[in-house]
Structure 1
Amino acid sequence: MPRRNASESTTVGYDDRAHAGRVLAGHLTAAALTDPVVLGLARGGVPVAAEVARALHAPLRVCVARKIGAPGQPELAVGAVTAEGPADFDERMLRSFGLDTAGMQQATDRERAEARRREQRFGSPGAEALRGREAVLVDDGLATGATARAAVRMVRAAGAARVVLAVPVGARDAVAALRGEADEVVCVLQPVSFAAVGQWYRDFAATDDAEIDRLLAELGAA
C-alpha cells in the first residue's frame, strides 16, 4: 500500500520507485490485457515499469521522450520531444512565458539529441515489438504530462493496438488531459495538492544507466 508521510498527515506516497511499481501493478493485474509489452519511460519510469512487467509476466522495454524545460525552470515542461518526429509543445505554457516554438529550437535540438543517445544505449521498442500489441506505458508520475503525451503518440504511431498509460501518482489536470490521448489511463494517486512528482516518494534518487541495463538484462525480451 502507499505509505502515509508522518510529517504531513494528508500526504500519501511511496518508499521508492520499486514500491510504487508494485502498488501500480496491483491496479493492472486485473485489467483485460492480452500479451502486453511494458514500456518504461527513461529513466525514472523504468524501475516502476520493471515491477509491472514482473507482475504481468511481460517483456520490459525502454521508451524515450525528453522534456523541453522552460527557460530558467528546466523541470517545468513546456513541451517534449522524441528521437524522431516533431516536438510537441503546450501552447498555453509557451504563451505564459512569452515564448514561441522558434525560440525553443535550441532546447528542442538538445533534447532530441539526448533522446537519440538514449535510444542507441537502451534500444527502441520499434514497430516490430509494438505492432498489433497492447502497450503499457509506465512513468514514475505525471506533472504536466508533456513527456507522457509525446510517448503515447510515438507508441501509437508505431502501431500498438492499445495504449495504456500507467503511473503511481499524477496531477489531476494532467491525468484528465492524457485520457484524451491514451486508450486508458491508470493513476493510483491524484492528490488535490500537487507540486512535483518527487514529493510523493520517500526516495526519489535519480535512476542511472547501469540500473536500466540491469533491469533490461533481467526482464527485457524479444
Structure 2
Amino acid sequence: MMFDDRVDAGRRLGAHLRSLGVTADVVAGLPRGGVPVAAEVATILGTPLDVIIVRKLGYPRHPEVAMGAIGEEGVRLIDADLVRHLGATRAEIDTVEERERDVLTRRAAALRGDRPPRNLAGARILIIDDGIATGATASAACLVARERGAAEVMVAAPVGGSDAVRRVRGADRVICLQRPAGFRAVGAYYRDFGQTTDAEVVALLEKTEPSGF
C-alpha cells in the first residue's frame, strides 16, 4: 500500500481506527511529520489534537540509526544493547543528546509559545506518527504521556516495521495500518514525503482547535 501523502495516510488510518472502535480523549501527533497524519485522525474520531515533542538520538557515524530518544518532561531512552554493538561512547551520546535537547526546547517554544502542555491526568491518549521505523521516538512519546498522567496510551501509524512495532515501550496498544515485509524507510511508502514545517504544524493545531490547546 502506497500513500499519496500524510493527509491520505491520516484519512486511511483514521478510518481503520474508527472501524476498530478506537476512542481517545486526545490525539497527539509527533512533530513534525506525524502531525498532518494526526490531524486527519483527530477529525475522523472527533477528538482534540495535541502534540508530544520528541527527538531521535542518532548515532553520529550513521545518524539514521537511533541510539535512543528524548522527549519533553525530561524523558530519555537509550538502547543499551545497540549502543554496545555500535561502540558508541558516553561522550558521543552526551553530545548528541545536548544538541537534540536544544532542538526539542526550541521546537516546543515554536509550537506552543506560552501555552502549557495539555493536562493528560486520567486521559486516554492516541499517539500518532507518520511511520514507526525503530520504535524509539514512539516509546519516548509514551513515557511523556505517562509522565503527564495519561491513564491509557495507544500508538498508531500508517506503516511500520514489525520489529520496530514490537519494540515500542510504554503503550497499552500499538496499531499499524500495514507492516510490510522487508520494511524500508518510512518515506518509501509515501508518494509525497516532503518535509512538514513548524508553521504547518501550528496551523493544524489552530485549525483543529481554535484555542490551540
TM-score, normalising length: structure 1: 0.88
Q: Which moved more, 1:72-81 or 1:54-63?
A: 72-81
How do 1:1-222 and structure 2 match up within 5 A?
12-33=1-22, 36-123=25-112, 126=117, 128-178=118-168, 180-220=169-209, 221=211, 222=213
In the aligned structure 2, how far is the partner of 1:142 from the partner of 1:66? 14
Q: Displacement, 1:205?
A: 0.4
Where 2:28 maps in the other structure, the secondary structure is strand
CA distance change for structure 1 residues 23 and 184 in 2, over 3 Å: closer, same or farther? same
- For 2:194 and 2:6, the matched residues in 1 are separated by 9
* Deviation string, structure 1 residues 17-58 (Cα, Å, up to 9, x no partner): 011001110121144555510100010100000000100111
Stretches of structure 2 lacking an aligned partner (at least 5 in a row): none
Find the aligned partners of 1:97 and 1:35 in 2 and give their Cα distance.
Answer: 39
Would the alpha carbon gap of residues 33 and 201 (structure 1) be closer, same or farther in structure 2, given more than 3 Å must change?
closer
Aligned equivalents of 1:100 and 1:117: distance in 2? 26
Give distance in 1, aligned partners of 2:73 and 2:24. 27
Identity among equivalent positions (%) equals 45
After superposing on structure 2, the runs of 4+ consecutive aligned residues of structure 1 that deviate more than 6 Å are none
Residue identity opposite 1:187 in structure 2: C
Whether the 8 Å contact between 1:62 and 1:125 is mirrored in structure 2 is no
TM-score, normalisation: structure 2? 0.92
Measured after TM superposition, the shift of residue 122 of structure 1 is 1.5
Taking a change above 3 Å as real, the CA distance of residues 31 and 162 of structure 1, as seen in their structure-2 partners, is farther
Q: d(CA) in 2 for partners of 1:145 and 1:191? A: 15
- Read off the aligned partner of 2:163 and give its amino acid letter: D
Residue pair 1:53, 1:60 contacting (<8 A) in 2 also: yes
Alignment size in residue pairs: 209
